[in-house]
Amino acid sequence: MFEFLNGGVTAPQGFTAQGVCASVKPSNKTKRDLALIYCDSLCNAAAVFTKNLVKSDTIAVTKKHLENGKAQAVIVNSGNANTCNADGREKAEQMCAVAADVLGVRSEDVIVASTGVIGEVLPITPIIKGAEMMRGKLSKDGGTNAAEAIMTTDTVKKEMAMTMTLGGKKVTIGGIAKGSGMIHINMGTMLSFVTTDAAVSSEMLGEALREAVEDSYNMVSVDGDTSTNDTLAIMASGKAGNPEITEKNEDYKRFVEGLTAAFRMLAKKLASDGEGATKLLVCKVSNAKSKPDAVKISKSVICSSLLKAAMFGADANWGRVLCAIGYSGADVNVQKVGVSFESAKGSIEVCRDGAGVPFSEEKAKEILLEKEINILVTLGDGEAYAEAYGCDLTYDYVKINGDYRT
């Protein structure tokens, strides 16, 4: 149905990108920390943002620039969040102007984002110099550099590309993301920039984005903290030549399915790279009375600090799963609940009908020592399904965040 490829934001037709070390943080002398993404034509565009009331001024500027549903470029820096600063709006607009000058586009057609430390004034001079370094240097190979440039405490780059068919035409979706800590459901803590050569109207692009994010990025939690800077933006060049999607028809539904699959791939990469994490946790809830109930339960389990700690220790403490289900607020008959743990080493049932069953602790530990753990919850109440993504809670999470600013 969908074919996943090597690549990122430059995989779709029309897009190039680049990332450089601009030393936004003076102490950074080697890591790329400034990225540009560009399309050779004006795109239909849409975005969704953090639900936190404290927001970076980059969000206000991007919202204003997307009022007409159009964009042609993205500029984004790491190392400084440009949040809670008196001159934040001015600096965000300056970043757009810098990108516009380098790329030959209108500043109103630039999406801007920042990530890093909150409450420190964003130095604009390094950004100006860094953008100038990229003049004429954006390329199809530059997407991976852009993916590196948006990283903060991430340990690996997160990028993806995939193809699908719409209206008889091959369509490509590409994306990059960052996020490791300060990640919680309702737009994570993350930045993600997605490109496609599909022909989709701005209105339908926005609708598709909001639908796809619900079953992907909004199902991720690392530590329960929702960031001030979360931005997920998408640009569609239309160069694939498919009949433009202007209504919620079959092509629209297929496009939403493709976006959801793409976002889920990136969401899992975000969760597995949680700060200090050693394991990806996926809670799969089936046979719920309703989709909202399945969502509540999967989110509750994945957010449980006690459960996350148990998974770090490879301890099959299934009672913590039941506890999280119990306070989730979902309509559930706890006497029907079943729980199993699953990994590449196999599967083991630990709870049936709300009560423990005999199981081998040795086998359970072998299963839970793997890098990806599925927590399988069956409810016996209906047919609804949902899954959420998280990670274990380790000693290193505290170490990383104990001196993040200093």
Active site residues: 189
Structure tokens at 42: 């004006």
Alpha-carbon distance 118 to 372, whole Å? 32
Alpha-carbon distance 124 to 131, whole Å? 11
- Nearest-10 crossing angle of helices 305-312, 319-326: 160
- Strands 70-78 and 110-115, by their bridges, are parallel
Alpha-carbon distance 381 to 360, whole Å? 28
Instruction: Return the half-sphere exposure (C-beta side, CA atoms, 13 A cut-off) of residue 252.
Output: 18
Instruction: Return the half-sphere exposure (C-beta side, CA atoms, 13 A cut-off) of residue 134.
Output: 35
Report which residue type is found at 359. Answer: F
Our CA angle for 78, 79, 81, nearest 5°, is 80
Look at the alpha carbons of 139, 140, 142, 148 in this order and tell me if their dihedral is positive or negative: positive
Alpha-carbon distance 254 to 269, whole Å? 23
Q: Are 323 and 341 in contact (CB under 8 A)?
A: no
Q: Are 211 and 253 in contact (CB under 8 A)?
A: no
- Nearest-10 crossing angle of helices 57-65, 88-103: 50
Alpha-carbon distance 127 to 4, whole Å? 33
Q: Are 392 and 309 in contact (CB under 8 A)?
A: yes
